[in-house]
Each structure stands twice: as structure tokens, then as C-alpha cells.
Structure 1
Amino acid sequence: MQEQITSILAHMAKAQHELARTLEAKRVVVAHMAMLVEQIPDHNPSFGEIDALMEHSLEVTKGVASYLNSLADLEEALADNLAPILKLMKEQPGEE
């Protein structure tokens, strides 16, 4: 039984690692977008139409929100996947 738990944990760890790599790539994009927004002057920006500026600002906000939601999903997936394993490990105190 311990070998099965170890195997399940190894597969879960690999899947979570891949998800973390995806989130890292997404983090880089969001950070880059935030740096671009930071470069916008506070006074009298000349971007042409306000509609384009609002659309781009909305896209940046969506990117940040999407990244944060992905982090929350990762945390939830980790908790959901580890809870049954921890329960099984508590039920078998003699095996190590």
C-alpha cells in the first residue's frame, strides 16, 4: 500500500510541477505587462483614442486576474490531491 501511495504522490508531483511551470510562464507575461503599464506617464499621455487605452488596460487587468485565479486553482488542486493521501497515511501509522 505504501508503494502505491508513493507512486501516486510521484505522479501528482510531476503533474503539479508541470502546472507550476505553466504558471511561471504566465507570471513572466503578467509581470512584463505590468512593467509596460508602469511606463505610462501619469500626466497628459498621448495615446490617441481613449477607447484603445481602455481596451489595453482591460487586457492587462484580465491577465493579472487570470494569473491569480490560476494560482488559486493550483493551491486548490494541491489540497484536493493531498487530502486523501494524508488520510491514508494517518490510517497506517505502523508502516513507513
Structure 2
Amino acid sequence: MQERISAIVEHMAKSQHELARTLEAKRSVVAHMAMLVEQIPDHGPSFGEIEALMEHSLDVTKGITSYLNSLADLEDAIADNLAPIMKAMKEQPGEE
């Protein structure tokens, strides 16, 4: 039983690692977008139409929100996957 649990945990670790890599790529995009926004002057920017500025600001906000939601989903997935493993390990106190 312990070997089976170990195999499941190993498989979950690999899939979680791939999710983390995806999130890292997404984080890089969000960080770059945030740096671009930071370069916008506080006073007197001349961007032309306010609608375009609002649209781009909304895109940045959506990107950051999406990244944070992905982090929350990863945390939930880790918790959901580890809960049954931890329960099974508690039921077998003699085996390590």
C-alpha cells in the first residue's frame, strides 16, 4: 500500500510541477505588464483616447486577476490531492 501511495504522490508532484511551470510563465507576463504600467507618467500622459487607456488598464487587471486565480486553483488542487494521501497515511501508523 505504501508503494502505491508513494507512486500517487510522485505522479501528483509531477503534475503540480507542470502547473507551477505554467504559473511561472504567466507570472512573468503579469510582471512585465505591471512594469509597463509603472512606466506611465502620473501627470499629463498623452495617450490619445481615454477608451484605449481604459481598455489596456482592464487587460492588465484581468491578467493579474487570472494569475492570482491560477495560484488559488493550484493551492486547492494540492490540498485536494494531498488530503486522501494524508488520511491513508494516518490509517497506517506502523508503516513508514
Give the TM interval when normalised to the shorter protein: over 0.9
In the alignment, which residue of structure 1 is the partner of 2:34?
Answer: 34
Query: Counterpart of 2:12?
Result: 12
**Alignment coverage as a number of residue pairs:** 96
Cα offsets for 1:4-36 (capped at 9, x unmatched): 000000000000000000000000000000000
Residue identity matched to 1:75 = E
In structure 2, the residue matched to 1:88 is: 88
Q: Deviations over 1:25-59 (max 9, x none)?
A: 00000000000000000000000000000000000
The residue type equivalent to 1:43 in the other structure is H
Gaps spanning 5+ residues in structure 1: where?
none
- TM-score normalised to structure 1 length: 1.00
Q: Which amino acid aligns with 1:28?
A: S
Which runs of no fewer than 5 residues in structure 2 stay unpaired? none
The ranges of structure 1 where at least 4 consecutive aligned residues each deviate by more than 6 angstroms after the TM superposition are none
CA RMSD across the alignment: 0.2
Q: Distance in 1 between matches of 2:95 and 2:32?
A: 49
Aligned-residue sequence identity (percent) comes to 83
Partner residue of 1:55?
Answer: 55
Quote the offset at 1:92 in angstroms.
Answer: 0.1
Q: What amino acid does structure 2 have at the position aligned with 1:27? A: R
